[in-house]
Amino acid sequence: MRLIVNQLAKAYGFLWALRPLDLELAPGEFIALLGPNGAGKTTLLKLLSGLTMPTAGTIELDGKTLAVNSTTLRGQIGLLAPADHLYDQLTVLENLRFFAALYGKAQPKNGLAAALEEVGLAERADAFVGTLSAGMKCRLSIAKWRLLEPALLLLDEPYGVLDGNGVDLLEEFLRQQCAKGHIVIMASHHVSRAVALCSRALILHQGRLSFNQAKQSPWPSFEIAFGDFLPSGGL
Amino acid sequence: MTLLRQTYLLLGKDLLLELRRRDSVLTMFFFGTLLLFVFHFAFDLPPDKIAELAPALLWLAFLFTGTLGLAQLFQAERDNHCLDALLLSPLDRGALFLAKTGLNFVLMFVVELVVIPLFWVLFNLSAWNLLPRLFLVTLLGTLGFCVLGTITAAITLRARARELLLPLVLFPLMIPVILATIRCMESIMRTGAMTEAMPWLRLLIGFDVIFLTIGILIFDWVIES
Amino acid sequence: MAQPTAAVKKRKGILGGAALLAITAGLCWSLVIAPPDGYQGEVQRIMYLHLPSILTAYLSYFLVFIGSGMYLWKREKKDDLLAHAAAELGVLFTALTIVEGSIWGKPTWGVWWTWDARLTLTAILLLIYAGYLMLRSLIDDEQRAASAAAILGIIGFLDIPLIHMSVYWWRTLHQPPSILRPDKKPWETVHPAMLTALAVSFVGFLLLYFYLLSLRYRVGEMRQEIKALRLERGA
């Protein structure tokens, strides 16, 4: 999956949430999307997921443009919102079954059970999602996306709701995704973890892409760029 | 996945949710019954006069009951941003339209199945043999209501005063359905057959087919994140 | 969007002037030159306003339909501006038609309102497009409001023939034909001077309509320009 973004921009009424932005990502890349609040990270993720249509510019996945009716393309894009996108009034298993079927990846019961096993939710299979904690909901999301295997996986602040085990689960899952040649883009305030995992860092500042570089070790240019808008500077 | 299979999947999920909580169907049923009681107090008429008014009264009740159902139509998708989850997926928007139309239709079907005989009992009407035909015509009208209602519910989803705006926008558009259904029902009550109301029946079916098709084609633009 | 050039302003001025001339001519013909009606007397003269009003309203709604369709297809703001402007004018001319119909009705039938086919239809039209304007004003997000309104603009217009049919059938099947109805086609009755008055009046209304449309459209454009300036300033 190659992702090419061309002069992508988004305005909400009076505000430019995202100014014209160009990006090219190769398969297997793990992008850390960083920046202060209101920088435009969520907007960019919403555009890449196809939830919002851009004011200008295009998004191309493997040469195909993302548009309102791009149903097949959307099947290859995933947005992992930590405790969202799950039906509270359905059970864990029913949620999994529903989304698997929706994405055309219907599984027999043991396939679903195995997926739950991997994230430690096997005993809660028949519990209503509304009764789960945010951390458990996040694990369910991980199980869901592991089944759906999107070629482009987007994450918006996943670390907020996860405990230690959950973090390990998530990072292992993300590493596996990249190993399979899929792209992962993660927006996070947890800069240290994001940088540790990533292969490239993007910094958004007031809707502009101010930094776009593949990871190096050490990475002085990143520290400078990042320090520019941190009050105290440094990681 | 084809349009119909996706519709089936979505509708199944919504009906399962409804079966568990029964929020919508119970409120709709009680509201419909309540309206019948209000009609009794408002229209103090002998049974033969009531028989003439029956189609109109029933349809008044169903219009308001159906509007309640529409207000709840996207309720399941409201929590946890589930509507985003659906829009994110490879779901054909036309399937979402059909599934939600189907959901409201099923709810109204169940309510009408009980309310129409109840009306007959409460108002001491005698022509029980006409009920099946009346019910069929009502279903055609209900389909028209659900089709336009789903489109209207979707476009008013993010509006302020949504519950007030929805009937305001929907009801004028519903006039052909209201006229056609009531005329057909009147014909059945008067003569037992549909012969004198055939043009109305054709209009009703035409309306249903036209807007069902338009709904499927246009829903891409109707529903947005 | 640039400021209108001097040429555009001049053309608008000419249009306005022509409208004024045509309306004046129309009034002359209607009030003075054409003879009074055999049955209804002087009151019938209101037809010279009434018919052009409703025809202009229909034209307006057609423009709403076109603008809505184009907006959904191309997503260009100008189509949305056209639809909005046309809807407002449509509501205005429809309301005008109803008032004129009412004024005509009182001396003719003795009542301010009757549920005859044409008045009823006109009232329904008013309700639909007043609903359109309400929908626009109640949705805060501009893009969403435009999309929602466009859908309603299309659905509403497509429903009109069905509403027409159902109301006409209802009224002709149930209403005895003895009521004097002001909807007989003019060329069935008519004195040539009356036809001329009608034609001149209609031309006047058309010119007036397009003049007002251009003004209202310009107001919409100016709102957009203000927004663009604010966006730039926010840079």
Tell me how far apart the alpha carbons of residues B49 and A21 are, in angstroms, rounded to a whole number: 71
Number of domains in chain C: 1
At C38 the pLDDT is: 63
Stretch A65-75: mean pLDDT: 85
C80 assigned to some structural domain: yes
Q: Which residues of C touch A15 (CB under 8 A)?
A: 231, 234
ω before A218 within 30° of 0 (cis)? yes
Query: Domain check: are A116 and A140 in the same one?
Result: yes
Q: Above 70 in pLDDT, residue B218?
A: yes
Is the distance from CB of A174 to CB of A148 less than 8 angstroms? Answer: no
pLDDT of residue C188 exceeding 70: no
d(CA A75, CA B87): 11
A20 and A72 fall within a common domain: yes
CB-CB neighbors (< 8 A) of A12 in chain C: 141
Would the CB atoms of A101 and B221 count as touching at under 8 Å?
no
CB B58 within 8 A of CB B182: no
Of A231, A193, A220, the residue nearest A32 (C-alpha): A193
pTM, rounded to two decimals: 0.88
Q: Could you tell me the CA-to-CA distances from C12 to C2, C16, C25, C218, C225 in Å, in that order?
A: 16, 6, 20, 11, 20
- Measured between beta carbons, which residues in chain A are less than 8 angstroms from residue B90? 71-72, 74-75, 102-104
Model confidence pLDDT, tens digit, residues B154-189: 999 989 999 999 999 999 999 999 999 999 999 998
Bridge partners for C37 per DSSP = C41
The string of pLDDT tens digits covering residues C13-22 is: 888 788 787 7
C231–A12 CB contact, under 8 Å: no
- For chains B and C, CB pairs below 8 A equal 90
pLDDT at A233 over 50: no
Task: Tell whether the model's pLDDT for residue A184 goes beyond 90.
Answer: yes
- List pLDDT tens digits, range A109-166: 888 888 888 888 888 889 999 999 888 888 899 999 999 999 999 998 888 777 777 8
Task: Give the helix ranges, DSSP H, for chain C.
Answer: 6-28, 47-74, 77-109, 117-138, 142-174, 186-189, 192-233
- Tell me, yes or no, whether A119 and A174 share the same domain: no
Residue span of the structural domain in which C93 resides: 44-219
| pLDDT score recorded for residue C186 | 45
Q: Which of C72, C128, C141 minimises the CB distance to B172?
A: C128
User: What residue type is assigned to position A5 of the chain?
Assistant: V
Domain boundary among A100, A127, A149: A149
Q: Are A156 and A57 part of one and the same domain?
A: yes
Considering the domain architecture, whether residues A94 and A201 belong to the same structural domain is answered as: no
Chain A residue with the nearest C-alpha to that of B78: A87
Q: Which two tokens stand for residue C227?
A: 């927004």
Same domain, A143 and A193: no
Do A92 and A125 contact (CB within 8 A), yes or no?
Answer: yes
A143 and A165 together in one domain: no
The single-letter code of the amino acid at B152 is T
Q: How confident is the model at residue C48 (pLDDT cuts 50, 70, 90)?
A: confident
- Asked whether residue A56 falls in the same domain as residue A133, the answer is no
Q: Using one digit for the tens of pLDDT, what is the confidence trace for A199-230?
A: 999 998 888 888 888 888 888 888 888 887 66
Residue ending a domain, among A149, A166, A181, is A149
Pair of tokens at residue A38: 């209101």
- Judgement on whether residues A41 and A3 belong to the same structural domain of the protein: yes
> Could you read off the pLDDT of B102-116 as tens digits, one per residue?
999 999 999 999 999
User: Which residues span the domain enclosing A139?
Assistant: 84-149
Q: Give me B37's structure tokens.
A: 């009681």
Do residues A104 and A188 both lie within one domain?
Answer: no
Q: Please, what is the average pLDDT of chain C?
A: 82
Q: Which chains touch A (3 or more CB pairs under 8 A)?
A: B, C
Region of poorest pLDDT, from B97-101, B155-159, C74-78, C132-136: C74-78
Distances (CA, A) of B150 to B45, B97, C54, C71: 36, 7, 31, 22
CATH, residue A197:
3.40.50.300
For residue B213, the Cα-to-chain-centroid distance in whole angstroms is 17
Q: How many CA atoms lie within 13 A of A175 on its CB side?
A: 9
ipTM topping 0.85 = yes
Report yes or no on C197 lying in a domain: yes
Q: Look at chain A and report how many structural domains it folds into.
A: 2
Query: Per-residue pLDDT tens for C150-184?
Result: 999 999 999 999 998 889 888 876 543 333 344 55
Instruction: List the single residue in C with minimal CA-CA distance to A13.
Output: C142
Residue B122's identity, in one-letter code, is L
CA A83 vs CA A147, B56, C52: distances in Å: 17, 48, 60
| Mutation for testing the C interface, residue in A14, A16, A46 having most C CBs under 10 Å | A14
Give the separation between CA A3 and CA A197, rounded to whole angstroms. 19
pLDDT of C2 strictly over 60: no
The reply to whether residue B165 touches residue C156, judged by beta carbons under 8 angstroms, is no
Same domain for A66 and A168, yes or no, is yes
Chain B nearest-CA distance from A117, in A, is: 23
Of A168, A167, A88, A164, whose CA–CA distance to A131 is shortest?
A: A88
What integer is the mean pLDDT of A29-33?
93
Residue C228 lies in a domain: no
Question: Which of A104, A131, A149 is at the close of a domain?
Answer: A149
A128 with A165, same domain: the answer is no
Q: Which helix (H) or strand (E) holds A79?
A: strand A77-80
The answer to whether residue C187 scores a pLDDT higher than 50 is no
Task: From chain A, pick out residues whose CB is under 8 angstroms from the CB of B76.
Answer: 87, 89
